[in-house]
Structure 1
Amino acid sequence: MVGKKWFVALVVALGLALSAPQAMAKQDILFGGASITGVYYQVALQISNMMNKHMGGEYNYIGRPTGGSVFNINALDRGAFDFAVAQSDRNFQGYNGTADWEGKPVTGLRSVFSMHPETVMLVTRKDTGITTVESLKGKRVNIGNPGSGQRGNAEDVLRMYGLDFNTDFRAEALQQHEASRALVDRNIDAFFYTVGNPSAAIEEPAQSVDLDMVPLNSDAVKAFVAEHPFYITTSIPAGTYRGIDRDIETYAVTATVVTNDSVSEQVVYDMVKTVFDNLDELRASHAAFRNLNPEEMLQGLSAPLHPGAEKYYKEKGWM
């Protein structure tokens, strides 16, 4: 009898041991953001936190800092990430094989939803004498690290204003957290940055030095926006940042959550459903997200929609 009980107990124990790994298995999901001081990283981090809170039994989401939009699109193409955040202009270029992807379109790139508008900014200190884009000549300016969306935006602005970063000033290629510190330490005189507002990368240096912003509102900028449907003209309201007490006219792209067509419909559907079913939670997680609404989050998608996202939007009657 004892032997039989021992045998039954052994069988049960073996069954539990064999079934436990399967029951506990979670799918790792990597979500690429951008610089740790930027809002893109907050998108990846906060959505990852939401997914782990609401669907932690099935998924293990990991939000990662990265080099930015170009890096993220290329990482998705390689299968290194499952989701990432990228600028709407970079998604358009990647999918259509232009700019950094000239002749090599990322045909597997898929849109999931839009987030917040990302304004293109030129930030300086008030003691530099920089009041226009043209006055960057002879200065030290961060144009963004290679692989970032802000680098492409900076190059566009300079081209519109007739400046060459190779000859007209000393160009730096710092990640944004490095650039913010360098501006405070007077190792650079200005930086370009494309980000949702408010951003810690500007709020923090504003506590140490007197900052200013240069409007990006020339006729060339307005014509550029009119030619590219993934851009909008906008302004940064006075008082958004300490010491900047006037509206700053500029233009913006849309931060977009993207994926690859190789990511399963179920994975994308689960993420989209969790985000929209708990949108108030996401709104409360960061100041840049407070005005998110479903209608706008389905706009500005410059790569085809992933079937998993499309399934949820049709269920909701949004498509």
Structure 2
Amino acid sequence: MKLLKILALSALSLGAVAPAMAQDTFVSIGSNPVGNAAYQWAAGIADLINRNVDGVQMTAEGTKGYVANVRLMLDSQIEAGFSNSKLAYEAYLGEGDYADVEPGQILSWMSIAPIVQHVVVMEDSDIMDLSDLAGRRVGIGQPGGTSMLDAEILLEAIGLTPGEDFTDFRVNLGQMETMLSDGQIDAFMWNGSIPLPPIIKLTSQNDIRILPIPTDVSDAIRAQYPAYSEGDLPANTYEDQPDAVPSYRLGNVLLIRADVDEEIVYQATKTVMENLDHMATVHPAWGRVSADSILGGFNAPLHPGALRYYREAGVPGIEEFVTRTAN
């Protein structure tokens, strides 16, 4: 017993003077349902950071989407997340749907390629324009995702009310792709980063059409919601789509909590920006990311760690951005 007591005391003594083992900092990135573009991005970033930045363990989190990500960040459930420029600015200010939260908790990090509004039908469908959606079965995205809110804004602009003028299905993009292919719905709407993997899958097995969104409709939406911007779906985004399709866009952004360590954000930003060629192999949207585009769509200030790297890298317009978002 005496020997055991001495050993125990010795262990306690050694523990008291031994240096604490360094622990990794865990950072979760909220994305959208597994298999969609933002999840691929988050997984690609996490893998890149984990292989190149010491002391950080980053993970991609499958979530219900961009709306859910902002709430998860505000609730300290995740440290970073993909969203859109409209939600990002409201969350930073504590306005709109976020009037119940303290401002300044969520900051800008990286801007990715903008998201583009899609309205998809089968090639042989008799739905030729948006007005033909009346009386049909239409997928509009899952609750908690920004695409569902975008669909509701588009539907309001064309005078259609879900549940009254047509039957709405509130499910994710992967489910809508399967349902359209199987004839369970007649059309679906999704606002996402191109090209969308489920639509690529759909075109590999079916002939589809993407409906044009008339200019007067997109102009009305942009007048009411300035966060949206002009921009068509480019030609050849998908198989058998030789022409550009009239549409509109929304800034697609990666956000991060203000309380994440500055050095971690600096090193993560540096690693991603200096490996954009690799990120383009993760998803084609990253092939359009550059120092010239990384601030696009943001109206909220940058995290200090990201700002430090962008200044070092000489990102065009960085000081003008700082002045604008400070005001």
TM-score normalised by the chain length of structure 2: 0.86
Whole-Å separation in 1 of the counterparts to 2:122 and 2:69: 31
Q: What runs of 5+ residues in structure 1 fail to find an aligned partner?
A: 1-6
Shift of 1:172: 0.6
Whole-Å separation in 2 of the counterparts to 1:313 and 1:229: 26
- Residue among 18, 26, 42 paired with 1:28: 26
| 2:220 paired residue number | 223
Whole-Å separation in 1 of the counterparts to 2:139 and 2:101: 28
Query: Does structure 1 residue 305 correspond to structure 2 residue 302?
Result: yes
Whole-Å separation in 1 of the counterparts to 2:225 and 2:308: 28
Shift of 1:59: 1.2
Query: Does structure 1 residue 111 correspond to structure 2 residue 108?
Result: yes
Question: 1:36 touches 1:177 (CA, 8 Å); kept in 2?
Answer: no
Q: Could you report, residue by residue, the CA deviation over 1:206-260 in whole angstroms, capped at 9, with x for unpaired residues?
A: 1222111111133131133255443221122232212333211101112101011
Question: 2:56 touches 2:264 (CA, 8 Å); kept in 1?
Answer: no
Query: Does structure 1 residue 122 correspond to structure 2 residue 119?
Result: yes
CA 1:317–1:242: 2 relative to 1, 3 Å? closer
Whole-Å separation in 1 of the counterparts to 2:222 and 2:35: 27
3-state DSSP of counterpart to 2:118 = strand
CA 1:106–1:186: 2 relative to 1, 3 Å? farther
3-state DSSP of counterpart to 1:256 = strand
3-state DSSP of counterpart to 1:84 = strand
Question: 2:157 touches 2:220 (CA, 8 Å); kept in 1?
Answer: no
Query: Does structure 1 residue 51 correspond to structure 2 residue 49?
Result: yes
Question: 1:150 touches 1:193 (CA, 8 Å); kept in 2?
Answer: yes
Question: 1:117 touches 1:253 (CA, 8 Å); kept in 2?
Answer: yes
Whole-Å separation in 2 of the counterparts to 1:121 and 1:93: 24
Shift of 1:158: 0.5
Query: Does structure 1 residue 249 correspond to structure 2 residue 274?
Result: no
Whole-Å separation in 1 of the counterparts to 2:77 and 2:35: 22
* Corresponding letter in the other structure for 1:260: R
* Corresponding letter in the other structure for 1:27: T
CA 1:239–1:135: 2 relative to 1, 3 Å? same
Whole-Å separation in 1 of the counterparts to 2:275 and 2:112: 14
* Corresponding letter in the other structure for 2:41: V
Query: What does residue range 181-192 of structure 1 map to in structure 2 within 5 Å?
Result: 181-192=178-189
Query: How high is the sequence identity, in percent, across the aligned residues?
Result: 27
* Corresponding letter in the other structure for 1:47: I
Question: 1:120 touches 1:195 (CA, 8 Å); kept in 2?
Answer: yes
Question: 1:116 touches 1:196 (CA, 8 Å); kept in 2?
Answer: yes
Whole-Å separation in 2 of the counterparts to 1:31 and 1:267: 14
CA 1:72–1:288: 2 relative to 1, 3 Å? same
- Residue among 267, 270, 273 paired with 2:267: 270
Q: CA RMSD in A?
A: 2.2
Whole-Å separation in 2 of the counterparts to 1:117 and 1:267: 26
3-state DSSP of counterpart to 2:246 = strand
CA 1:146–1:228: 2 relative to 1, 3 Å? same
3-state DSSP of counterpart to 1:128 = coil
| 1:86 paired residue number | 83
3-state DSSP of counterpart to 1:249 = coil
TM-score normalised by the chain length of structure 1: 0.88
Question: 1:37 touches 1:199 (CA, 8 Å); kept in 2?
Answer: no
Shift of 1:280: 2.1
Shift of 1:99: 5.0
Query: What does residue range 2-41 of structure 1 map to in structure 2 within 5 Å?
Result: 22-23=21-22, 25-41=23-39
* Corresponding letter in the other structure for 1:296: S
| 1:236 paired residue number | 233
Query: Does structure 1 residue 137 correspond to structure 2 residue 134?
Result: yes
Of the structure 1 ranges 169-178 and 263-272, higher mean CA displacement relative to structure 2 is found in 263-272
Question: 2:153 touches 2:221 (CA, 8 Å); kept in 1?
Answer: no
Whole-Å separation in 2 of the counterparts to 1:227 and 1:303: 20
- Number of residue equivalences: 304
Whole-Å separation in 2 of the counterparts to 1:64 and 1:296: 25
Q: Could you report, residue by residue, the CA deviation over 1:252-298 in whole angstroms, capped at 9, with x for unpaired residues?
A: 11210101112221222121111112222222322121121111111
| 2:65 paired residue number | 68
* Corresponding letter in the other structure for 1:81: I
* Corresponding letter in the other structure for 2:143: P
Query: Does structure 1 residue 178 correspond to structure 2 residue 157?
Result: no
Question: 1:109 touches 1:259 (CA, 8 Å); kept in 2?
Answer: yes
